[in-house]
Amino acid sequence: ILFNQFKFTLDGNSVTGEAKLKSFSNPEYSIKLSGVGFEANAMKGMVNLFDNNTDGKIDFQVLGQGNLNKPEDSFFKGSAVLKDLVFKWEDRKNPLTLSADARFSGNTYNLRSGRMESGRSKISFRGKYKNEEQPELLLKLTGETLIVDELISNKKGEDKDEISLKDLFNRSNLLSKGKSKISIDLKQLGYKWLTLGDVSGTVLLKDKEIIFNRFRIGPNNAIKGQGKFSVKDPESILFETRMKADEIQAKDFLAMFDEYFKEGLTGKFKKLKLILKSRGQKFSENISTLNGKLSFHLANGVIDTKKLHEGIFSMFDLEKPLETNSKKEKDKDEEPSKYEDISGDFV
């Protein structure tokens, strides 16, 4: 049984196609569907992916085959060009605009020439996603800026104070059961108070751990780092990181912390090693339990201890001590001062 060149419309969007059915007693079928300029929000209610879509168009072509008695075993493949799809979520500050050239075969999706913009974020991407019992994502991100806070849910935990990293893992099949490898080469990467400029490296996800591997940061990739977030322990989140740098200007290192320590320290780090660890149920607890080792050698600059202290209190949102007359006198003594050499090892 042949169905040649049929056509139907959905909310004013036309879809054309053709199909073949072997027989009613043996309903094996094949089908071909195509559409040009199809409005993505017309798919709301039919495809979960488009539940939060508000704008954008798709050119697509889909080939399918299977048996009507076992529709769950049907196989589909095809292609789609996504044109400025806009998504809005109640728990995110900014809408997200997405464009990409996609190919799919069964549960495997290949993404090419992808582009994403949301708030301050603006990146290009390409990769592959396998939507299986154990999902797998391979992704390469390049371009200008990625601000992670703006892309994840801002839904608070039960205490209503903070976003729960554990909840993010539990709500996502990819995060809780899958594995990922994401390569990064960006002009800027931001999360919380951390701002990494000229950053490259690899993010690995497996077994409820996010591993930051072989990160290179700053001018001439002078800062080298690695780290890990782990939510394996049901009681707490484990964080650890290592950084080192040689022959880097102090201002370039402090630039990682946004504007908090601006003009607080100049000079050059001849060497720098930093090891940090923390454990807590939420981000603020991880901050309050930070501990580790710091080793450095600074040469020829100016240090402003008052600005450094103020930067620490602001960055970690700590309560500042009350000002007293003795403190005001002490602040007068903490004027910026020149130095030739500062070095030490601290725990």
Residue keyed to tokens 């040689």 = 246
**pTM score, whole prediction:** 0.84
What per-residue confidence (pLDDT) applies to 154? 64
What per-residue confidence (pLDDT) applies to 340? 93
Residue keyed to tokens 């403190």 = 327
194: Cα within 13 Å, side-chain hemisphere: 10
Q: pLDDT tens-digit profile of 167-186?
A: 777 777 888 888 999 999 99
Average pLDDT over residues 325-345: 74
Average pLDDT over residues 43-65: 90
Q: pLDDT tens-digit profile of 95-139?
A: 999 999 999 999 999 999 999 999 999 999 999 999 888 899 999
Tokens read off for 176: 């809780």
Split at pLDDT 50, 70, 90, the class of 161 is low
Q: Is the pLDDT of residue 324 over 70?
A: no
Please list, residue by residue across 191-221, b when 16 or more beta carbons sit within 10 angstroms of its beta carbon and e when fewer do: eebebbbbbbbebebeebebebeebbbbeee
